[in-house]
Structure 1
Amino acid sequence: MNRALSGWANGSTVRPGWANEEEDMKRATLSAMTLAVLAPLPVAANDTQANVTMGGLIFEPNDQISMDSEDLFLSLDRVRVRYTYTNHGDKPVTLLVAFPLPDVPLEGADPEWVEAAYPDLDLIDMKTLVNGKPAGLMRIDIAKVNGQDVDKRLKELGWPVVHWKDPDFAARLNALSADDKSALVAEGLLTTEFVTEGDVRPAWTVSTSFVRTQTFPPGVPITVEHSYSPMQGGTVGSALGRDFRENGRLDPESEYVTKYCVDDAFLRGFDRKRYLPSGKENELFFPIESWIGYALTPGANWKGPIKRFRLTVDKGDPDRLVSLCMDGIRKVSPTRFEVIKTDFEPARDIDLLFVTFTPMEGGQ
């Protein structure tokens, strides 16, 4: 059975300056309702074999190299993962190994919100060790429209793949003639959705992966370690409050339930901090949601299941709420939760919801 992990928050998140204003609180709640439908920006993904083709970076299964163990640590501040691999063949195997990040922007999301959260990949601070020694990584950014690589077309136009890094790019697009805009919208490169009438914006997604060339000697286990700062999604406010529940329950089709497995215990923890015994909202604290995720399923691309898998989640503060979908989790400290599995074949990725209650102006 999936479990949610509960606790309270003590306001370790930075307090918004307007959080004590009634009208702005209403706006924050509406923002939370909008942002709650967006997926978080995942922290990254399991290593997986890749191949670079004309269609971009292709992730491939491997039937010769096994992932013997994976030790994964997830927190809001840092992510660490340690793998052990074995080549079961009789010759060395050299592969392109990719560590993929999520596509940006999030498909179907309103760019009014997503563009404010475009990741700065330079801040990830990615470090990789192979058998304890630093390994060089190369970043590959691939532009896609409907899943098709459009890098060549962008080069023809002189447009940047990572367009949000160019502060003048929006003005360049909107300086195009009406005919050019129409043609490029028809081509799928631009869209008129969610912009002022007559304006356009990029319609392509960006797929980013950190890649390295890795040689696996026969019969000799090798250890690979990654560490980095996670990309976070989040919002001021929350749609977890009682006003958003029917008969005390959340909509079972909401992402709170389907993506994060928020359960009754989590809601009780939320209510204890959000509401007074009288039922009125506690005006001393305000909920802040943070979301991270981890693409676990690429770990299924290696030979056989992951022989030993260990997940540790650290919520950082004993009073913070955290919820995720994972069987067999147990609490091992005031802030940490752990699950250990053998012969593990991941069928879904990991998404984590953190709720921190921050003191409002005048709060204690």
Structure 2
Amino acid sequence: MYAAFTVIGLGVLSYPARANDTSATVAGGGIHFKKSADISMDKEVLKISVDKIDIRYVFFNHADKEVHELIAFPLPLSPYGNAEDNWRVHPSWDEDYMARKLLDENPGSALDQHPSNCNLKCWLDNAAFINFERTVNGEKYGYNYRTQAFDPNGKDITNLLIKHKIPLSSAYLIGYMEEGALHQNKALQEKLKKLHLLDGKGNPLWKTQTTYFWQQYFKPQSETVVTHSYKPQAGYHWLTGKDIKTFDDIKIESRDLDEKSWRNYCVRPDDQAQILSYFKALRPDDSQVVRAMEVQYILSTGANWNGPIKDFTLEITPPTPDTIVAFCWPGAVEKSEMGTVIARAENFTPDKDLKVLFISLKPGI
């Protein structure tokens, strides 16, 4: 399950798209195109950091006619897991949640500080995907979006909720780190009970999903240069251990529901030695906790074009030059003086997705 660019038919917006939504890390991805004899991906440059993902594609249309498709970028389903898990991560990819919180806490001003200590700019700065941008041949283009609500059986109940003037965002109704709108509105609770849309604990029985979509055009016998950029939803993890003697004694404590393992990140031997040395140097009374951040990217969709990616470059930039970057890659990598890790491949057919771990060798707070 993941958030990725997908070529869709018009009818797909009536059903929930797949989304890779761990509780603290949300994977974004690249364009997913139907197998085509016409369009090849001649070049891709993928730049990843904890704050931003930039992708530059160079496509070539081998046909003698213009090719155009409806492309979609579905965000993860929200909220992740069940209501009890909602506190684990801010639902910043839930467009309806973000919009309603902005209205609630900024009714008169976009700049005034509010009880949540987060003004309008703060909300937007911390929202993943909302500032998604795309260009085609150097020109900036917009996109459409639609937010839908799905019950546990995958049925679209968007129109039902709108008809009864019920907020689409179940995350908004439940609340995040505070009492939600549902628990403050008895009339709304009764309305949802009559519609059989609450579970045994009084929580909404649906999830929402926002999908961006647009028409992509490829001129005949021509290159098309496409760029996308967005803010990823990074996951926060902690490296901990007691009586550490070997690297395997160091554990990854995660807010995600998914169990974390070192094998998911292919930490190189020299980096293992550096991490182990750091932990061993700590005094017994020091807090042996180190923070790590994870960014995921759906790379395997790059295998859906005509042939392999002819020229692929991956650049991963850490927050600081001394941050360790760990990820699985089949070939050699190089590192710049500023700490950027660079991997290259020719005629590349990706069959796995990226999980990048940024390890800062400083005590966690």
Normalized against structure 2, the TM-score is what? Answer: 0.69
Q: What secondary structure does 1:61 align onto? A: coil
**What residue is the counterpart of 1:169 in the other structure?**
181
**What residue is the counterpart of 2:202 in the other structure?**
200
2:265 to 260, 266, 275: 260
Identity of aligned residues (%): 28
State how 1:111-260 maps to structure 2 within 5 Å: 111-119=85-93, 122=124, 123=127, 124=129, 125-144=131-150, 145-165=152-172, 169-171=181-183, 181=193, 184=196, 189-192=197-200, 199-235=201-237, 238-242=238-242, 248=248, 254-260=259-265
Of 269-278 and 312-321, deviating more is 269-278
**What residue is the counterpart of 1:84 in the other structure?**
58
Which structure would you say has the larger RCO, counting Cα contacts within 8 Å and 6 or more residues apart? 1
**What residue is the counterpart of 1:328 in the other structure?**
331
Q: What secondary structure does 2:227 align onto? A: strand
Is 1:102 aligned to residue 76 of structure 2?
Answer: yes
When residues 78 and 354 of structure 1 are mapped into structure 2, their CA distance, relative to the original with a 3 A threshold, is same
**What residue is the counterpart of 2:15 in the other structure?**
56
Give per-residue Cα distances to partners, 1:75-100, cap 9 Å, x unaligned. 01221100111222221122112233
Q: What secondary structure does 2:10 align onto? A: strand
CA distance in structure 1 between the aligned counterparts of 2:92 and 2:290, rounded to whole angstroms: 23
Of 52-61 and 130-139, deviating more is 52-61
When residues 261 and 102 of structure 1 are mapped into structure 2, their CA distance, relative to the original with a 3 A threshold, is farther
| AA at the equivalent of 2:169 | V
Give per-residue Cα distances to partners, 1:205-252, cap 9 Å, x unaligned. 3333322211111111100011222222214xx244246999935789
When residues 88 and 339 of structure 1 are mapped into structure 2, their CA distance, relative to the original with a 3 A threshold, is same
For these two proteins, the number of residue pairs brought into alignment is 305
When residues 205 and 67 of structure 1 are mapped into structure 2, their CA distance, relative to the original with a 3 A threshold, is farther
| AA at the equivalent of 2:75 | L
Instruction: Give how far 1:359 is off.
Output: 5.5
Of 310-319 and 294-303, deviating more is 294-303
Instruction: Give how far 1:281 is off.
Output: 5.8
Instruction: Give how far 1:275 is off.
Output: 3.5
Of 93-102 and 241-250, deviating more is 241-250
More strand by share: 1
Q: What secondary structure does 1:309 align onto? A: strand
1:313 to 310, 313, 316: 316
When residues 157 and 182 of structure 1 are mapped into structure 2, their CA distance, relative to the original with a 3 A threshold, is closer
User: 1:72·1:82 contact (CA, 8 Å) conserved in 2?
Assistant: yes
**What residue is the counterpart of 1:349 in the other structure?**
353
CA distance in structure 2 between the aligned counterparts of 1:147 and 1:264, rounded to whole angstroms: 45
2:67 to 89, 93, 115: 93
Of 78-87 and 341-350, deviating more is 341-350
User: 2:170·2:207 contact (CA, 8 Å) conserved in 1?
Assistant: no
CA distance in structure 2 between the aligned counterparts of 1:315 and 1:169, rounded to whole angstroms: 39
When residues 308 and 360 of structure 1 are mapped into structure 2, their CA distance, relative to the original with a 3 A threshold, is closer
Q: CA RMSD in A?
A: 3.7
User: 1:84·1:221 contact (CA, 8 Å) conserved in 2?
Assistant: yes
Instruction: Give how far 1:61 is off.
Output: 1.5
User: 1:88·1:218 contact (CA, 8 Å) conserved in 2?
Assistant: yes
CA distance in structure 2 between the aligned counterparts of 1:203 and 1:261, rounded to whole angstroms: 39
Q: What secondary structure does 1:152 align onto? A: helix
**What residue is the counterpart of 1:18 in the other structure?**
none
When residues 226 and 200 of structure 1 are mapped into structure 2, their CA distance, relative to the original with a 3 A threshold, is same
Normalized against structure 1, the TM-score is what? Answer: 0.69
CA distance in structure 1 between the aligned counterparts of 2:158 and 2:245, rounded to whole angstroms: 45
Instruction: Give how far 1:282 is off.
Output: 3.6
CA distance in structure 2 between the aligned counterparts of 1:247 and 1:80, rounded to whole angstroms: 33
User: 1:51·1:60 contact (CA, 8 Å) conserved in 2?
Assistant: no
**What residue is the counterpart of 1:196 in the other structure?**
none
When residues 96 and 346 of structure 1 are mapped into structure 2, their CA distance, relative to the original with a 3 A threshold, is same
User: 1:68·1:84 contact (CA, 8 Å) conserved in 2?
Assistant: yes
When residues 177 and 230 of structure 1 are mapped into structure 2, their CA distance, relative to the original with a 3 A threshold, is closer
Instruction: Give how far 1:56 is off.
Output: 3.3
Instruction: Give how far 1:176 is off.
Output: 6.0
